[in-house]
Chains A and B, each alone.
Chain A
Amino acid sequence: MAHRIVILGGGTGGTLTANRLHHRYGEAAEIVVVDRDDRHVYQPGLLFVPFGLADPDGIVRPRGKQLHDGIEFRLAEVDRVELADNVVQLTDGGVLPYDVLVVASGATLLPEETEGLTGPGWGQRVSTFYTLEGAIALHDALQRFDGGRLVVNVVDMPIKCPVAPLEFCFLADWYLRGRGVREDTELIYVTPLDAAFTKPIAAEHLAGMLDHKNIAIEAEFATGEVDGEHGRLVSWDEREISFDLLVTIPLHGGAEFVARSTGLGDELGFVSTDPRTLQSHAAENVFAIGDAANLPTSKAGSATHFEGDTLVANIERLLGGEELVGSYDGHVNCFIESGFHKALLIDFNYEVEPAPGRYPGAHVGPLPLLRESHLNHLAKLAFQPLYWHVLLPGRDIPGIGAQMSTSAKQPTPNRQGDTT
């Protein structure tokens, strides 16, 4: 009898896992991917929409079309997972029994959890680029912005793509200069962490970057309340920052059904997951990938991509009665747009923090790590077609290994403690 594999979520992790498993098993596995909508957003593109650098329609494709023929796409909302019975209950009454379950339902934005955030001004004077609708609203707001106080605020960690808020600051600096209103703009980055760059090597190499771009920072600011009507951001320890336009990154949590599934998630609704094997702590036949998991690495598409290798290998091992491998090392790399057609690239894992060097070839690169370059910017732009045509279909990207290479880096330990 064919293996029944149910995948909850048709985003980056769910799609690449389904396609790889289908390639591996063919008709020997019945694979069902469940999602509540059929809009697969290329999330790195959201950053570009507010600045008119990406067309909103150009970063969305149907989820079902990204899945190979032979994989079932089920448009439905998950009510809950019943771990003891190995079934997924859908809100339309459907029941999906599984031999293996993969939770790939990503992270959900929770703006309503912050007092006042969705009150007056939401979607206008207060907005986020973490949704397509928000990114479009911000594009309008930035086009009209004629100076004043622009505040970019991370409410609290963890968030998806933890460098994106900084990238927004860098791009806003560049964009507002182009519009001739930068000198009339105060640009402030407000973070709950104690600095913009919190890892020693990055802090050393990138010190001065905010100053150079005239971006002020307010650190250790845990947002308690947003008052859109009067343009005030208030912290839990009663500090206040006024704004004319607030770009906020709301709290993130796991998918709602995770919280409704007894034993599956942690207090924020992320699936409690072994950081090396990607097996959930809830049941041996349940795995999690990408933003849905509570791994101590960044919630980023590249982490999800690299996790795919380990996840598929371990599903195979579980079905074959073999011991799982702990091969995921926390590897992530990401481009950081810095404006003016340049970008940085960082590469790190659970053990090694971002450091200078070259990527993907240790010595030949061509991409420089932890340093601004035009080539990195071009590589970031070039990644979008690779995402749709290579990464999602489950093919390997030549020269890009799932495990991190440390041969050309200074092997400085990445002391854990990340909230990313």
Chain B
Amino acid sequence: MSTVTYAGAAVETDAEGFFADPEQWNEEMAPQIAAANGIGALTDRHWQVINFMRKSYLESGAAPSIRTLGKASGVPVKELYQLFPRGPAKLAAKIGGIPKPRGCI
């Protein structure tokens, strides 16, 4: 666990920078996390994905997969990769302050 400061507030993150507690996140922190991960300005399309990720996680307790994002976020998979290169589900989870998608071990 380490402590990082985003938008003037100290938050707890794991070794890879994912939030330990999604409740510590707020919208003002997102641009700073995005920039630190190589994403410049967050567009409305980025926000559509980030907001979907958070809503889905907070409702079901699971971080959505790329396939769920493609089916239900309103942003097709190809575009997800343009918005969040390499790993859309993982990157959007990090920027949205929720844990990364993981397996059972």
CB pair B63 A419 closer than 8 Å:
yes
Instruction: Identify which of B2-10, B25-33, B36-44, B82-90 touches chain A.
Output: B82-90
* Minimal beta-carbon separation of A278 from chain B (angstroms): 14
> Which residues between 366 and 420 of chain A lie within 8 Å of chain B, taking CB atoms?
415-420
Q: Which residues of chain B come closer than 8 Å to A282, judged between CB atoms?
A: none
Interface string of B38-76 (1 = CB under 8 A from A): 000000000000000000010011111111100110000
Specify which chain A residues have a CB less than 8 angstroms from the CB of B61 in the assembled complex: 275, 295-296, 350, 416
| Chain A contacts for B77, CB-based, 8 A | 222, 224, 236
Among A34-42, A79-87, A88-96, A189-197, the stretch that binds chain B is A189-197
In the complex, chain A residues 228-256 whose Cβ is within 8 Å of any chain B Cβ = 236-237, 251
Contact A193 to B104, CB < 8 A, known contacts A236-B66, A272-B60, A296-B61:
no
Closest Cβ neighbor of B71 among chain A residues: A267
A346 touches B104 (CB 8 A): yes
Once the chains are docked, how many angstroms separate the CA of A7 from the CA of B61? 26
Interface centre among A224, A415, A419 (most CB of B within 10 A): A419
Residues of B within 8 A of A268 (CB): 67-68, 71
Are A192 and B66 in contact, CB atoms less than 8 angstroms apart? yes
- Number of residues on chain B facing chain A (CB within 8 A): 33
A197, B103: Cα distance in complex, Å: 7
Report the bound CA distance from A416 to B20 in whole Å: 10
Q: Which residues does chain A contribute within 8 Å of B72, judged by CB atoms? A: 267
B60 engages A222 (CB within 8 Å): no
Given contacts A236-B77, A272-B60, contact A418 B104 (CB under 8 A): yes
Interface size on A, as a range, is 35 or more
Q: Which residues of B contact A157 (CB under 8 A)?
A: 65, 67, 101, 103
Whether B99 and A417, one on each chain, are in contact in the complex, defined by CB atoms closer than 8 angstroms, is yes
Pick the contact of A420: B93, B100, B103 (CB < 8 A): B103
Given the interface pairs A222-B66, A296-B61, the reply to whether A415 lies near B14 with Cβ below 8 Å is yes
Q: Is A343 interfacial (CB-CB < 8 Å)? A: no
A266 at the interface (CB under 8 A from B): yes
Residue A298, interface by CB 8 Å? yes
A418 touching B66 in the complex, CB below 8 Å, given contacts A236-B77, A272-B60, A296-B60: no
Interface-central residue, B57, B81, B98, by most chain A CB under 10 Å: B81
CA distance A220 to B99 in the complex (A): 16
Q: How far is the CA of A122 from the CA of B51 in the complex (A)?
A: 38
Bits for A169-209, please: 1 = Cβ < 8 Å to B, else 0.
Answer: 00000000000000000000001111001111010001000
Q: Closest 4 interchain pairs by CB?
A: A417-B99, A296-B61, A198-B102, A267-B72
What would 11 more interface pairs be, CB under 8 Å, given A191-B103, A202-B105?
A192-B66, A193-B101, A199-B103, A199-B104, A237-B86, A415-B99, A416-B57, A417-B63, A418-B104, A419-B64, A419-B65
